A and B are shown apart, each in its own frame.
Chain A
């Protein structure tokens, strides 16, 4: 009766959140992420046992831990992937500010775990690497600034983001963490590239990166040793690379068998930086190619979906996030096959590490949120732009 008198509420017909999410999300990438995480757990069953034994813990202690943190990471990812782009932007910028503050505080509250670089904040039960969380936030912030700069009378986004990049890289270099610094520079470059950087400038930036690498080579012994190890044609079998290469060769096409691998006993970083070597040894080339295909799926699909994107911020942020995710995976695997000099970088979702997996969850969550299919004004374009 009331409805007949007042008419029904002119409520918007809004699709419920979850079905809409499922309809618009990139389901292929989502599946790939879950598959990667599963592979990571599977490899962790083999790779983290020696570490657990060394530390006198239950054999699958680290697997359980990883399952827990991975679960957290996946929940975070799903949560973020449901956000609308402007929520992602807010989260990213706030996240950047928080991570930046934590990183700036590292010299005071950080710890180096005896590895010679202060990168972690230890909470006793777990430790956090702020730079891992800084990356997605940084990309979002950069993309926001760059996109805003495209507006008429917009802020000077390019200069501002460059200044921020400079400060962040400086902080990272002080830790020292040249790998993350390079990743930050790379992320910024990608965003700027997509935003329409002049080709001359791109060449200049590449030159500067080269000069920076030379500087690091000459001043940091740590860095120089790794480069030298890479440049020498002979593989010293006692180095991590030597073990990793040997493991890949041992594995061949079908692997030596589950749990039969040896490299995990000799490599201290078998469960993190060299997990791909464990995969290659125990399951062979097949699993490695699967892992590569999964990463390629996520990255290439995301980039192609972003090509249709009309909103500059979404385009830039999405491209930046996809690229740092891709590069991280590629550097990790490239090191194991000696395409790149040794540089500790985790394999997202696969390597052991709470910080790493949650940060990867945030990154991919944002990426998924940004690559969701949404109306791109095709009809409006057809209607309005034809007239001119």
Chain B
């Protein structure tokens, strides 16, 4: 920058010549220079001020535009939103195999209070207590006035209740929309569905989470937003389930039993068509679990799955089938059946001290349900092979079905497998499994010896099965079971046209702390039908049943669970689409005349 000199020599000299003070020139120049600087600063400031002004104007416009955009958009969440936009109430429906609703969602409202906005807490408390008898007026009033600003009052309201609360007319009472889980069939399939309750709760919605049964086991699937619109189809057939429920309820009353369980399994697909446990409960109003006493006394207890009992004689067919599979015997082989049998210090006898011996064909061991004959078969098989077979039949592990209770329902297996255990387990004592286990094992026999994992979900394609018996052994076992009905202990089980085959089992209940309770039985009938081409397996268990029509109470399975099971088959087989065989085929392999 070229600066003008403050004391230009020419002017100074000129001034000196004129006798003026040359300092004036310097001062004049300083003033001019300052003025110049100022002018430049002002020019610059002018531009910058303009810039600032425009910037602020633009910024105000942006704020205004943004306000306009917001004002023009719809509010995302409802008024006075408090919380919970991210709580999803989404939950898929559950249907039976034919698409009939088992569980669905229902819009209702929860009731909560903002006590600080309440006009007259005392009146509200009084009127609420009148509407809901379980609420206490003084307790409510205390909670309304202790300074809290929020409290929940009811989780679900019926429309009538909601209107009544609305009519109280206090601004401090507020309703939050809720999706509640509804089980339109009530008690039917209660143990399968389990139940649900609210998880994370907000004012505007609440999660519905499964608390038991399938609802809990399949919680992730049911709450998956991607699949929320696809109902979860179960393998259950609602009609069959309903028929079985009704018959078991009647049978339980008739046989004076304290509990009953039934499982119906499709042998070719492993699907559970019906599963009932009595007494049961309404999943819409699930009772609280017992805090003391036997869990089995609670209606929540699923006898078909959680009730592990000694199977009794129903296990004998497994022993016979394995002996045949190993080629040790054929159905006509005569085995030692001389009772009582002694093994060490143990004595093994027959029912009511009978003796079917000295020799009995394998078929008759099953038909007559001989403990001693089965024991001899088991000794031929040996403990290790017996354990391996039981394990392959799924008797040593929890049943892998889609219930939250399933993994916890492990069978009770003796720790040491001594020879005496081999003997007792061969006829179903000393080892406790559930009716479900039994049904799965019988299904393997019925399905030509191929074991399928059971399921509660509808199966579109069949899973890869595992062969546990040859077709021949399986067929022979079915034939033996058929004869149990035609001429053995399960004669009440005959249903005309459906060729029922099955095995009874009567086991004394295990007392607490060891030993058996002679007066208390678990009566089981494990069956399959029709015997010529088995399609379904049915297991019916009655807990402490006794048939009192005779002079003496009869507590064997043949008198109690067999007739009930026969009635179930009579009712359900047509529902399952099975045609009755009008001309009954002659019972195969019958060597003796009918008794």
Contacts and interface: CB of A to CB of B under 8 A. Distances in A.
Q: Do A and B come from one complex?
A: yes
Interface of A: 150-152, 190, 193-196, 235, 237-238, 242-243, 245-246, 248-253, 262, 265-266, 280, 284-285, 288-289, 292-293, 295-296, 299-300, 303-304, 306-310, 312, 315-316, 319, 323, 326, 330, 333-334, 337-339, 385, 388
Contacts of B52: 190, 193-194, 303, 319, 323
21 contacts: A190-B52, A194-B48, A237-B82, A246-B81, A249-B71, A249-B76, A250-B79, A253-B71, A253-B72, A292-B63, A292-B64, A295-B60, A300-B57, A303-B49, A304-B49, A307-B50, A312-B45, A326-B56, A334-B63, A337-B66, A337-B70
A157 to B, nearest CB: 13
Given A196-B44, A246-B75, A315-B45, A333 B70 contact: no
Interface in B29-60: 30, 32-35, 37-39, 41-42, 44-46, 48-50, 52-53, 56-57, 59-60
Interface residues of B, number: 42
Contact of B60 (A193, A284, A330, A337): A330
Interface string B96-133: 00000000000000000000000000000000000000
Nearest to B57: A300
B79 to A, nearest CB: 6
Contact of A323 (B45, B56, B67, B80): B56
A350 to B, nearest CB: 14
A292 B78 CA distance: 28
Contacts of A316: 45
Nearest to A266: B80
Contact of A289 (B39, B64, B85): B64
A296 B71 contact: no
Nearest to A152: B34
A53 B347 CA distance: 88
B228 interface: no
Contact of A150 (B41, B63, B73, B82): B41
Contacts of A326: 56, 59-60
A242 B71 CA distance: 14
B83 interface: yes
B77 A246 contact: yes
A386 to B, nearest CB: 13
B79 A307 contact: no
Given A243-B81, A312-B38, 4 more contacts: A250-B79, A308-B46, A315-B49, A330-B59
A151 B53 CA distance: 26
Contacts of A310: 38, 42
B45 A194 contact: yes
A333 B72 contact: no
A163 B114 CA distance: 53
Given A194-B48, A237-B77, A252-B71, A337 B63 contact: yes
B309 to A, nearest CB: 53
B68 interface: yes
B164 interface: no
Given A152-B34, A300-B53, A285 B67 contact: yes
B74 interface: yes
B121 to A, nearest CB: 16
Contacts of B388: none
Most buried by A among B41, B52, B77: B52
Given A266-B80, A330-B63, A307 B75 contact: no
B168 interface: no
B62 interface: yes
B82 A339 contact: no
Contacts of A288: 64, 67, 71
B509 to A, nearest CB: 57
A242 B82 CA distance: 10
- Chain A to chain B: the 4 pairs with minimum beta-carbon distance, closest first: A303-B53, A249-B75, A285-B71, A296-B60
A285 B70 CA distance: 9
Nearest to A310: B42
Given A300-B56, A319-B49, A319-B52, A339 B66 contact: yes
A310 B42 CA distance: 7
B71 A251 contact: yes
Contact of B30 (A152, A265, A300, A338): A152
Contacts of A190: 52
A245 B56 contact: no
A334 B62 CA distance: 9
A150 B77 contact: no
Contacts of B62: 339
Contacts of A262: 79-80
Nearest to A337: B66
B67 A280 contact: yes
B48 A193 contact: yes
Nearest to B63: A333
Contact of B83 (A150, A238, A246): A238
A296 B76 contact: no
Given A248-B70, A288-B64, A296 B57 contact: yes
Nearest to B73: A249
Contacts of B42: 309-310, 312, 315
Interface string B423-437: 000000000000000
A284 B67 CA distance: 10
Contact of B49 (A237, A249, A307, A333): A307
A242 B45 contact: no
A151 B38 CA distance: 9
B41 A284 contact: no
A151 B34 contact: yes
A150 B38 contact: yes
A249 B70 contact: yes
A284 B85 CA distance: 25
B82 A299 contact: no
Given A150-B37, A289-B64, A194 B49 contact: yes
A190 B59 CA distance: 16
Contacts of A285: 67-68, 71
A178 to B, nearest CB: 20
Contacts of A151: 34
A267 to B, nearest CB: 11
Q: Counting chain A CB atoms within 10 Å of each CB, which of B34, B48, B63, B80 scores highest? A: B63
A363 B39 CA distance: 28
A337 B67 contact: yes
